[in-house]
Every structure is written in structure tokens, then in C-alpha cells.
Chain A
């Protein structure tokens, strides 16, 4: 099953975040979503919020983030907030993403009609820009997403923030199907943490996105005084294999 596994460079510190990346790769994650920590992550719940705050105290900077990304071998989708992208300059940020081999960019607070030139820069540098759309969006907003002709679409399967359990049912499945109806690959997440959910989601979406569950796995390893490699590897194996 296709999983996009989320991770944060410098969480819990640089060395251990490298081990997390290795475990995601070895465990068979199809994609890695790398989140660049930002001081005010308004779309994130407590788990990712706490983890990004800690990464900032560990010395994360945008330039060190690019160096980190360049070492990864699985295709990378980079997620961050408008604050960091705009401060660097949208054009320069996207150019750096291209230079460091990033497959796609996810910036939830630069939406399609307030994107500060993000989508155009993506075309210039050959980086996919992922429209982010949430369950319950109006038909107008969904039509805007289709009009971007993006290769990938990032779908939140419920309202609210990251890290709360989501039930996969008819409503979010028809949402995924509608988003994928014109050929885009749908990466669907928010509240996905079990293989059963991944199976239900990937029956319709290109990949399931797992975020907070990985933060919890890293923290649990830390509490047991263990390197996060093993727990992240096991979680990834569980999530990528059909339950059964």
C-alpha cells in the first residue's frame, strides 16, 4: 500500500531524524513528507506542533532543511507554511526545492487564489505544487483545484487539525474519488494511523498520508531510551502491508 510518511528534520534532534528517514525508506514508504518547522503552525495539532517547536530549538534552519532533504532517496514532498516560503521569496524557495530534488510542495496557507506566485514558480522550476483541499469544501473551490491541472492533490479527510482519528466512510471516499476524477493523484490524510485506514484510503487514493502517528512513534522510542529506527521501521511495515 502506498504510504506518504511524514517526518520533521531535527526532531527529536538531527541525528535521530536521520535515523527516522532511514527507517521510512527501509520500511517501504512510497513518499516522504518533510515538514519544515515553523514557529506558528496553525493547521497542526499538539503532536506535530510540539515536535516542530522542539526541532526549532535543535537548530533547524531553512538552509539546513535543504541539506537534509538532499540526503533522502525516496521521493520527497515538502510541507511548510507561507511564513517561511514568503520570507525566503517564493521564487527562490521553489528554485531551492527544485535544486534539492523535491517532488512537490505543500503550503496550506498559500491557497490557489492567494498563492503569491507559487503555482507559476512551480511550473518554471518543474516542481509540483499540491493544492490542499479539505472535506466539506465548496464545489467552487474543488473546481479551482481541478483547474490547476496539478499532478498531485493533497486532501484532508476531515475538518480541523492534524492528529485526531478520522473515520473512513462514504463521505470522505466520494470526496477522494471526486478529486481524482480528472486524473490527479490524490494524497489523502489527516487522522490516519492504522493499516485498516490505509487500506480503505488507498483503495481510492494514490497514497495515504501518515503524520502524527510517526511523531508519537518517535516519542515512544525516546521514552524507552531507544533509537527511533526500529519503532518507525515497524510502524511503516505495518502501514504499508495489507492487513490480514
Chain B
């Protein structure tokens, strides 16, 4: 078993999960060598996900920022609204190959749960989604949609009641149900082979961007993506990981401050090496190794750990890490809505904000590409409350009266 990226990664699981992970590892390695598997995945990418997603030249933003040329990969136009569908479809096909008829998944913002529920509906698989109570409260529309797709959404009431706790609950389910059930982890983390598998299924984003840039004769200077667990970033960066250019920039959640519990930034010395949820990486931990609470306005970025490959790429210096605060993310949502007619998800808007700063600071012959990993429709209840509190409150009250 390899499954390490430098010192990070591994398969630190209780013995009961060892069998299913070994089976999954073997099944994944066989599937990626099977042209029939790729044909089935290719068809779903074309017909169901809606690939390729566009690469938008952000002409108005470029002019407004007055620096480098800015491009936006509109990954949020994929079916169900985010890159999460790429991985969910790949793993659901793999589950079918392995003879599993039931799927479980964790979700934070709800995008991974939504994607999983959609592909389960499409493929006729039974689906259970674990979601923290706090996230259910702030991402209610996604809960409704998951249930519309026929999934069972189980509220998680333990711990901080967010994404990390949903992962714990899904792992508990899987320990008892692995004979019939596949667990689709939504980010490029967890025990091996998940980080490799998720990167593989998300690498379609980076490969498309590479081809789209080449088709226009453009050489990128810097690529920017937000990083929670890191699945959109690792997929977006994947064609360039072994090369020295372009610059690769990951943007973490700066939240509302730099104290414990106010952010979810693990790089640049804030995280400690630990073993959590089956893998070794950088996490927000106290001195005893207890996992600390986090905060971000975006439910998809408030996970206390980072995928092991991205941690390793940070250690080697290949990927640089910056932060954006809650406020800055909201600012980016407004900026791109006004200038480009696209609404970034709050997660992706963290990347959007730093892409704006980079575009400002670099000369016009340089190129910045940002991944809009998700679109912001799901955030309506957060952004509307933040940006137009009065009218939004009146609207909600009048809806409630009816």
C-alpha cells in the first residue's frame, strides 16, 4: 500500500474498515484501466453533468481591476451547481462495479450531498446523506433538493454539528454496512485510496482548462482555487502539479478573525500534523491533539483539515496558500455578479477575492485563472441576509404568513 504524499496521507483506520478500503483500492485501480468504465463515465459527463463547462474571459473585471487578464472556469454550471458532481458520478459508477446498491455520503454546504443524491437517483441507488445540524440550518434549500432526489438526509447532532461530524457519522455507518454500501467521500481526503480517487475524478476540470487555454493560445501565469478539504483545487491544479509554472494558489477560509474557532486556515503554520479521520495531514488541533472548532461563512470551507496531497504540495512550496475573510468573500460575490453576470458560491468567492487581488497586482500581459467551483444560488439565504437585510427580512416574514 502506498497512499502517501510525502509524509501525509496513509490509511489509519480501525481494522473493521480495512477490508472495504482494500476492496475499494483494488476496484478503483481496475476501473481506471478499463475502457468500458471510462466510456460510461464519459457519457454521463456529456449528457448528465454538462461537460465541458465554459472558461469565461472576464473582460469587464479585467478592465475594472486594471491589471492581468482574468479568466473564470465556470465549474458551477455543472449539473447540481458545483464541481462535486464530477467525483460523485465517478464513485457511484465505481460502487455499481463493486456490487454496492447503497450509497452514503457526508455533506457540509450540501453540494456534495446534492451531487450524490442526484447521481443516485439517475443510477437507481439507495442514498443516505449525513449532514450536521448547523449546516442543515444554513443550507436548507439543499436539504430540500436532496430529499426531492429521493435521498434520506440524516441530521448529525454530535460534536460541532458540521462537516467533520458528518464524516464521523458516515464512517460509523460504513463500519456496519460496508458489505452492501459504498461511502462516497466528497473531498480529496480521508484514508487512502480516497485522496487519489477524488483527484482522479476531479482532474477533468484541470484537463479542460488546459485544453481551453491552449485552444486560445494562452499561457496562464497563476491559477487560483478555494481550499476546504481541497477537491476542486487538486482537480483544477492537477495537470500542472509536476511542472514549475504556472503559480498555483489555494485560498483558505479566513473567517472573521485569527483566533481559535474564528477561521479554518490550516496552512502557513496554523495547522499541526495530526492523524484524524483516517489520514495524516495538517489540522487545527489543540496541544492534546483534540480537533478544534472552526468558522467560515461558507459551510464548505469550515473543515479543520486539508487533503494530504495539498498539505504536501504546501510543504514543498508548489502550492502557495492565502486566505480570504467572510467579508472579502461577500465582496467578491458582488464584484463578479455586477461585472460578469455570474454568481460565485461563497466557497469559490474566497478564491475569487484573491484572484481579484492578483489581477490588480500583475501586469496586463499576465493571466490569472480562477475556478468558480460552485455557483451561489444555494447561498441566497446567507447573501441576501448579509447584503440586503431589511427587504430580505420583510420577504421572509411575508412568506411565512402565507
Q: Which residues of A contact B (CB under 8 A)?
A: 38-46, 49-50, 53, 56, 61-62, 82-88, 108-111, 113-114, 116, 132-134, 136-138, 141, 156, 159-161, 164
Contact = CB atoms under 8 A, between A and B. Distances in A.
Contact of A39 (B172, B278, B290): B290
A83 B164 CA distance: 14
Contacts of B288: 61-62, 84, 87-88
Contact of A159 (B13, B178, B289): B178
A132 B158 contact: no
10 cross-chain pairs, A with B, having the tightest CB-CB distances, nearest first: A87-B289, A160-B176, A134-B16, A108-B14, A82-B275, A39-B291, A39-B290, A83-B289, A42-B171, A84-B289
B7 to A, nearest CB: 11
Given A40-B277, A53-B158, A137-B15, A87 B168 contact: no
Nearest to A38: B290
A86 B175 CA distance: 23
Contacts of B12: 82, 109-111, 114
Contacts of B159: 39-40, 53
A108 to B, nearest CB: 4
A86 B288 CA distance: 9
B276 interface: yes
Nearest to A131: B15
A43 B175 contact: yes
B285 interface: yes
Given A38-B290, A82-B12, A161-B176, 14 more contacts: A42-B175, A42-B277, A45-B172, A49-B158, A56-B290, A82-B275, A84-B290, A87-B288, A88-B289, A108-B14, A108-B15, A109-B12, A137-B18, A159-B176
Interface in B145-203: 158-159, 164-165, 168, 171-172, 175-178
B19 A138 contact: yes
B274 A83 contact: yes
24 contacts: A39-B290, A42-B175, A44-B172, A46-B158, A56-B290, A61-B288, A62-B288, A83-B274, A83-B276, A84-B288, A84-B290, A85-B289, A87-B274, A87-B288, A87-B289, A108-B14, A108-B15, A111-B18, A134-B14, A138-B19, A156-B15, A156-B16, A160-B16, A164-B176
B228 interface: no
B308 interface: no
A86 B13 contact: no
Nearest to A111: B15
A116 B10 CA distance: 11
Nearest to A61: B288
A190 B278 CA distance: 21
Contacts of B164: 40
B11 interface: yes
Contacts, number: 111
B284 to A, nearest CB: 11
A167 B389 CA distance: 57
Nearest to A87: B289
Interface string B281-294: 00001011111000
Contacts of B158: 46, 49-50, 53
A159 B179 CA distance: 10
B274 A86 contact: yes
Interface in B89-144: none
A39 B158 CA distance: 10
A137 B12 CA distance: 16
A42 B158 CA distance: 11
A150 to B, nearest CB: 14
Contacts of B287: 87
B195 to A, nearest CB: 15
B327 interface: no
Contacts of B172: 42-45, 160-161
B272 interface: yes
Given A86-B289, A87-B274, A161-B176, A141 B168 contact: no
A138 B19 CA distance: 7
Contacts of A49: 158
Chain B CB count within 10 A is highest, among A40, A41, A62, A136, for A40
Contacts of A83: 274-276, 285, 289-291
B326 to A, nearest CB: 24
Given A84-B288, A84-B289, A114 B276 contact: no
Contacts of B178: 159
B10 A114 contact: yes
A87 B176 CA distance: 28
A75 B165 CA distance: 33
